[in-house]
Amino acid sequence: MHILKIKGKAKIPDYIQIRDDDFTLKAYFRVDRPDKSLEKMGYGNRMEELLKLIQEMPFGKVIKID
């Protein structure tokens, strides 16, 4: 699975994309509201780890996660 952090412009907010190994979009959500989306995807048990990664990762970089 891959995670991308996208920088918004003007009225479009920053957001996160989660993609599978084939790079198919699985989820996208605003950077400032990740909780519900991560819970919905079944990552509630890894929430703290993923939230830390989202906050620290740079915009525009693709990061592979397991």
Distance CA 54, CA 58 (A): 8
Q: What is the pLDDT of residue 26?
A: 87
Strand partners, 27: 18
Q: What is the pLDDT of residue 35?
A: 79
| pTM across the whole model | 0.79
Q: What is the pLDDT of residue 40?
A: 83
Q: What is the pLDDT of residue 21?
A: 92
pLDDT band at 2 (very low <50, low <70, confident <90, very high): very high
For the purposes of burial, counting CB atoms within 10 Å of the CB of 61, is it exposed (0-12), middle (13-18) or buried (19 or more)? exposed
- Taking only the tens place, the pLDDT of each residue in 15-55 is 999 999 999 998 888 888 887 888 888 888 888 888 898 88
Pair 59, 8: CB distance under 8 Å: no
